[in-house]
Every structure is written in structure tokens, then in C-alpha cells.
Structure 1
Amino acid sequence: MIKRLVIAIILLAALVGGLVGFNRFRDQAIENFFANMPVAVVTVSTVEAKADKWSPVIEAIGTIRASRGVDLTVEATGIVTEINFRANQKVKRGDVLVQLDDSIQRADLAAAKAQANLDRQTLTRAVELRDRQVGSNSALQAAEAAAEASAAQVDRLEAALRQKQLRAPFDGTIGIPRINEGEYLTPGVSVATLQDLDRMYADFTVPEQLLSQLSIGQKVRVTVEGAEGSFDGEIIGIDPKVDPSSRLVSVRAEVVNTDSKLTPGQFAHLNVIQPDEDNVISLPQTALVTSLYGDYVYVVRKLEGEEEKLEARQVFVQIGRRSGDRAEIREGVNEGDIIVTAGQNRLNNGSIVKIDNTLNPADGLAKAEQATQQ
């Protein structure tokens, strides 16, 4: 019995010893594997931080408007007899666009002119009789009053006749006719829109904090959807009042409508050009990473003790103004630092990296920004 118990104890000890030895062997093998495993190298694109010229802008959104634009309507009621324009036609100030039926007014005017002519003849005879001292002053005064009244009647009827015509109030481009010949029109009914497209306005708003950075004559650059390039202009008006509900200031810029590409009502992006500044460090916005703890970038540095290896170190930065695709860096980055612009999503603090700038998104954004400015 004792012999069997001793054998069982020996077998149990051997089994336990084997398990312990296997676990130690496995842990050592795993440790050796990870110790000798090659470190994964992450390929990134970079840019060198430089203190260069900074061209700040104030970004805003607004609406394109014509310098002069109205919805035309008639002054008097009547039947449309003529429509003397077509859609998108260039018209001159004073051109007759719509003619209403004026036959009654013309007949009344002819009768008033005949009466005025008769009253002038009567006045002439009354003057001659007075000069020969055979006519009374009262008769002359009555003739003068009648002549003046008939002349005023002619003027009134001529004005009524002009109201039967709709004339262009200024040079511009007229829109689609909204009426038809034979239609009975009343004042207030829109006939068509007339827009002066040679000069355009861009109306926009900026926060009250930026009001001190605006001035009359300041240059602006405008871009709109569907039109290549940008349009140059300048600020011609700044409201002297801040909207108390929105805390925004209304601003108007006059824009050169190159090749008539701008259309009233378009949504516009505006950049108000600020004076250039020197020795400002800026980075492409693709280099910035935002987290709950703040904004940071990855700086590429040589690995200590291994000159051929590069590592990415996480550096928190303080961001200033933004302009286009670039952001001003006020703290955290020094001139000459190599900053990662692409591939940050695969990086950790201390990751080994390899630089490949054959396809650098920062270069593409810079070229796009230059093309927009041109």
C-alpha cells in the first residue's frame, strides 16, 4: 500500500514538474519571438516647418447680387399689345419693353391738343385787342387761364400715354417674359427681371470680433460653384451697426464679373485679403490631428543610438489663424522640424517611420490653392 502511494506521489511530482517546465519554456519562447521580431516601419509623407511669409485671410460666405436689379412692372392697367424683348436680351435705358393699348389716351390727347391750339389762338387775339385798347383785361386774363389749363391737360394726357409703355430704367440684361400679348395687366404684376450684370456685389457677414480688421477698399477674392478660378473685388460698404441677435456685421464688396460668369443669387465663398506677415510658421492642415486633449502633430526625429532609423514623436501644438489649406502654428513646432502630413492614422508615439514624399497631399493642396488664386 505504501509502495503504491509513493509511486503515485512520484508520478504526480513528475507531471507537475513537466507542466511547470513547459510553461516556462513557452513564456521564454514567446519573449524571444517578440524580442527578435522586426519592428514594423510605417511609410509617411512629411514637410519641413519653415518660418515664411504668411498671407492671412478672413474667410466668409455670402450671396452674389447685381449692382442694379429690379422686377419690372407697369404703372397703369391695360391690354398688352406689344412685347419688344426676349429672354437674356441686352437692353438700353429708355427702350420700350412692353406696350399697352393706348388708343383711348391717344384720342384724348389729340382732342386736348386741338383745344390747346384753339386756346392759344384765342389768347393771341385777346392780346391784340388789348394792345389796340378795344379789349378788356378780364377777357385777356380769362384767355390766359384757358390756355394754361389746356396746356396742362395736354401734359397730363401725355404722361398718361407714357404710362402705357414700360421702358427700361437702366442698361442691363432682361430675363424671361412673364406675360403674353393680349393679357390684361395691372400695376404690381411682374413682367420680367432686369439685372445689370456688368458690376456685381457680394454681400456677406463676419463676426463682430473681426470688424476691426475690415476697411473700405480692402481686396477680396470670390469663388462660386460651377465657375473656374476666382473673381477679384474690393469692399465698398461696411454696416456701422452689429446685428444684436447674431453678432454679425454685414459687408458688401464690388466684384468684377469676368466673362459674365457670375449670376445674381449665387452662393459665394469669400476671402478678405489681409496684409502679409513675415517669419510665421505654418503647416498644411493635413498635418494636424485633433483629440480630446488638444491638437498635435507627429515630428520625425532620428532614433537615439541608431542614426539610420527615424521615429515619430507626438508633439502638442497651439494653432492660430487658418488660411486656405494652411494653419498658423504658434507653439510646439520649431523651424526645421520634419512634420508628418500623411499616414498619422497608423502612427503611435515612437513609431518607426520611413519618409516617402512622392505623393505628398500637402503639395497637391498647395497646387490647388495656387490654381484657385489664379
Structure 2
Amino acid sequence: MLLRLAAAAALLLGSLTSEAQTDAPIAVIGATASASTWQDPVEALGTLKADESVTLSSTLTGTVSAINFEDGDSVAAGQWLVQLDDDQAQAELRAAQALLGQRQSAVDRAQQLQDRNLGVRATLEDNAALVKQSEAEIDAIRARLADHRLQAPFAGTVGLREISIGALVTPGTELVTLDKLDTMKLDFTVPATLLSVLHPGLTLSATTPSYPQRIFRAQVATLGTRIDPVSRSLVVRANLANPQGRLLPGMLMEVQLNQPPRQALTIPESALVPDGERQTVWLIEPGQPPHVTRREVTTGERREGEVEVTAGLDDGQRIVTHGTLKVREGDAVELIAENVGEGDIKDVLERQRRATESQATESRDRD
């Protein structure tokens, strides 16, 4: 796009200068090389994960007797979600409690006899041991009863319900998913060569095809502790706030990580004139009138409409940005505008065209 604009400007500038006298300076648009704050973006692809995520499954064989959620419900920590038939376990609990009562009565009678020195101490101790055994059996049955009722280990959002009342489940059967979605973990990889500039707190922006107009901003939270020996990359994690629940686990995110800012000498990208494998610019030398010389430059990073120059130019030097295809080494130039935005170039050229036509008309009238 920039090359097409540069070519169009060159043709327009060329048409303007062709109408002028052949020895007149060539009309060009220029810019000043200047130092500016530059942040080298690092682009990566990341995947979203829920802040907490679990798939609840059965630990025993049983029949589903009750379900306490609907698809996509928000549930509280400790809320029960699925109840398995526990009639047999409840019967075992009642039997164990009855046996405990019987054994406790035996202990009471043995204690009364012992208090009157009519009983045997060993009998009291044996009955007390049986009471403790019954209490342990009751605790075990209650633990099994707890396995019949699945509870949410944390507050979150349940997924789609895939089971129905009356379904037979076995150990390992997945019953429901639960995700904590108010905060999302964004994991992405960056080259290990950037390890020296990575640290928690670096800002980043992320986008997803699901919401193409939305930019999600976050900070680096954690750096991985291992470098992948194959890709030589490091896993970086950021936390994204998700109060509206728009982001979901598994989403692909395009991440742009901002490195610490630095000062860089920049020029408009339209000023570059390729010369084989080299990059050159037309440097505007001061004079009456100014003239241009070709200068080779070394470029660094690029961003929209701008390029970093690492060698070949100094801060404050002026270069040609539009009209580069018309000038030659040593040509005199007329700087009709400087540091003009791409959207204003047409207006500049139109004003110059009208001025040239006016001069030509005046010249004909004098003749």
C-alpha cells in the first residue's frame, strides 16, 4: 500500500514538474528523521484455560437418583450437583447405628457392675472396644455415603448435562464439568532469546477471531521454569479478566507482547528506495536550492508506516518521502511539504498543481 502511494505521488509530482521549466527544482515531499519511543512487539499464539477446571466423575457404581443443576448454571462451592442412589448405604448406616446403641448399652451395664465391684474389668474394656469399632464402621459408611453425592469443589459454571436420572454410572464415569471463568489463564510461547527482557508485569494485548473488534489487555503473571529443548521456547502465562464470561477455555488468542520501550531513530517507510539487497534514501542536502544525494541506510524493526534506522542517518536530517522515483543524484529539489500524513498527500499535491498552473498562466500572460 505504501509503495503504491509512493509511486502515485511520484507520478503526480513528475507531472507537476514536467509542466514547469526544465531547470526548475523538482517538487518533493519530505520528512525529518527523528528519535521516538519504540516498543518491539512480540507476536505469539496462545490458548485460554479456565482459572480452575475439573471434570467430576463417579468413584463407585450406582444409579443417578437426582440432579441439582441445569446446563451452564453458576454454582457455589460445596453445592451438590449429582446424587446417586444410596438406599443400601443408608440401610447399612442404620444397622451400624443400631449395633452401636446395643454395644453402648453393654458398656453401660458393665460400667455399673464395675462400679459396684460386681463386674470383670476385662468385660468392660472389651465392650468399650466394640463401641469404638462400631463408631469407626459408621464413619466409613458415612464416607461412602458422601461419595454418592457429588459436590462442587469451588464456585464456577457447569457445562452441558450429559446424564439423566436413572442412568447407571461406574467408577470413572464423567458426570459434569466445572470451570471457574471469572479469570482466564492465557498460555503462550516466546523464544528463549527474549528471556532477559521477560518479567512479570509486562503488558500485552490479545485478540481472538471470536471477537475481532475486541482487544483484551493483560500483564504477564508467570514465566515457565523450563525451556523446550526442541523449539527453544518458554511458556509465558497471563491472567485475563473475564467478568462477562465471553472468553472460554480452549479459545485461540493472538498475543502481542510489548517489550520495554526504547529510543529509536525512525523515518516514514515510504522514504525507503530498494537498491538490490540494500536499502537507500534520498537525503536532502541544504543549499540554495537544496539538492539530494543517495544514502545507504541500515534498517531495524518496522511498524505501520514507520521503519527504524540503525545506521546511515542522524537525528534531524531530512529525506524525500514522495517523489523518490523522479529525482536523481545531485538534483535540485523544492520541498513543498514536510512530515505529511498519508491522508494529506493528495491535498498537498492538489495545492501544488494549482500553484503550478497559476504560474504557467502568469508566464503565458507576460509573454
What is the percent sequence identity of the aligned residues?
31
1:42-73 CA-to-partner distances (Å, cap 9, x unmatched) read 99987643211223443322111111111221
**AA of the residue aligned to 1:328:** E
Cross-structure match for 1:236: 221
1:332-362 CA-to-partner distances (Å, cap 9, x unmatched) read 3443434648x98xx477499987746279x
| Secondary structure in structure 1 of the residue aligned to 2:109 | helix
| Secondary structure in structure 2 of the residue aligned to 1:61 | strand
Where does the alignment leave 5 or more consecutive residues of structure 2 unmatched?
Answer: 1-16, 21-25, 346-367
In 2 relative to 1, CA 103–172 (structure 1 residues): closer, same or farther, beyond 3 Å?
same
Instruction: Report whether the alignment pairs 1:262 with 2:242.
Output: no
Given candidates 317, 325, 329, the residue that maps to 2:309 is 329
Measured in 1, the distance between the counterparts of 2:342 and 2:303 equals: 25
1:288-307 CA-to-partner distances (Å, cap 9, x unmatched) read 6778614x365474899876
- Contact 2:271 2:319 survives alignment (8 Å): no
Cross-structure match for 2:112: 128
Cross-structure match for 1:96: 80
Given candidates 245, 249, 267, the residue that maps to 2:230 is 245
| Secondary structure in structure 1 of the residue aligned to 2:343 | coil
Cross-structure match for 1:190: 174
**AA of the residue aligned to 1:236:** A
Given candidates 66, 69, 75, the residue that maps to 2:53 is 69
Cross-structure match for 1:203: 187
Where does the alignment leave 5 or more consecutive residues of structure 1 unmatched?
Answer: 1-36, 362-374
1:114-153 CA-to-partner distances (Å, cap 9, x unmatched) read 1112222222222222222111121112111111111111
**AA of the residue aligned to 1:194:** L
Measured in 1, the distance between the counterparts of 2:82 and 2:313 equals: 69
- Contact 1:74 1:165 survives alignment (8 Å): no
Deviation at 1:234, TM superposition (A): 2.7
**AA of the residue aligned to 2:94:** A
| Secondary structure in structure 2 of the residue aligned to 1:233 | strand
Cross-structure match for 1:151: 135
Deviation at 1:174, TM superposition (A): 0.9
Instruction: Report whether the alignment pairs 1:272 with 2:273.
Output: no
Count of residues in correspondence between the two structures: 316
| Secondary structure in structure 2 of the residue aligned to 1:320 | strand
Between structure 1 and structure 2, the one with the greater Rg is 1
- Contact 2:89 2:141 survives alignment (8 Å): yes
Cross-structure match for 1:319: 299
- Contact 1:78 1:100 survives alignment (8 Å): yes
Cross-structure match for 1:213: 197
In 2 relative to 1, CA 39–108 (structure 1 residues): closer, same or farther, beyond 3 Å?
farther
Measured in 2, the distance between the counterparts of 1:45 and 1:126 equals: 111
Deviation at 1:261, TM superposition (A): 2.6
TM-score (norm 2): 0.73
- Contact 1:90 1:174 survives alignment (8 Å): yes
**AA of the residue aligned to 1:282:** T
**AA of the residue aligned to 1:230:** I
**AA of the residue aligned to 1:253:** A
In 2 relative to 1, CA 84–215 (structure 1 residues): closer, same or farther, beyond 3 Å?
same
TM-score (norm 1): 0.72
Q: Using CA pairs under 8 Å that are at least 6 residues apart, name the structure with larger relative contact order, 1 or 2.
A: 2
| Secondary structure in structure 2 of the residue aligned to 1:114 | helix
1:167-189 CA-to-partner distances (Å, cap 9, x unmatched) read 11111111111222221112222
Measured in 2, the distance between the counterparts of 1:265 and 1:44 equals: 52
Measured in 2, the distance between the counterparts of 1:189 and 1:285 equals: 60
- Contact 1:55 1:323 survives alignment (8 Å): no
Instruction: Report whether the alignment pairs 1:106 with 2:90.
Output: yes
Measured in 1, the distance between the counterparts of 2:87 and 2:272 equals: 76
Instruction: Report whether the alignment pairs 1:163 with 2:147.
Output: yes
Measured in 2, the distance between the counterparts of 1:194 and 1:322 equals: 44
Cross-structure match for 2:14: none
Higher alpha-carbon deviation: 226-235 or 194-203: 226-235
Measured in 2, the distance between the counterparts of 1:207 and 1:320 equals: 19
- What pairs with 1:283-298 in structure 2 (closer than 5 Å)? 283=267, 293-294=277-278, 296=279, 298=281
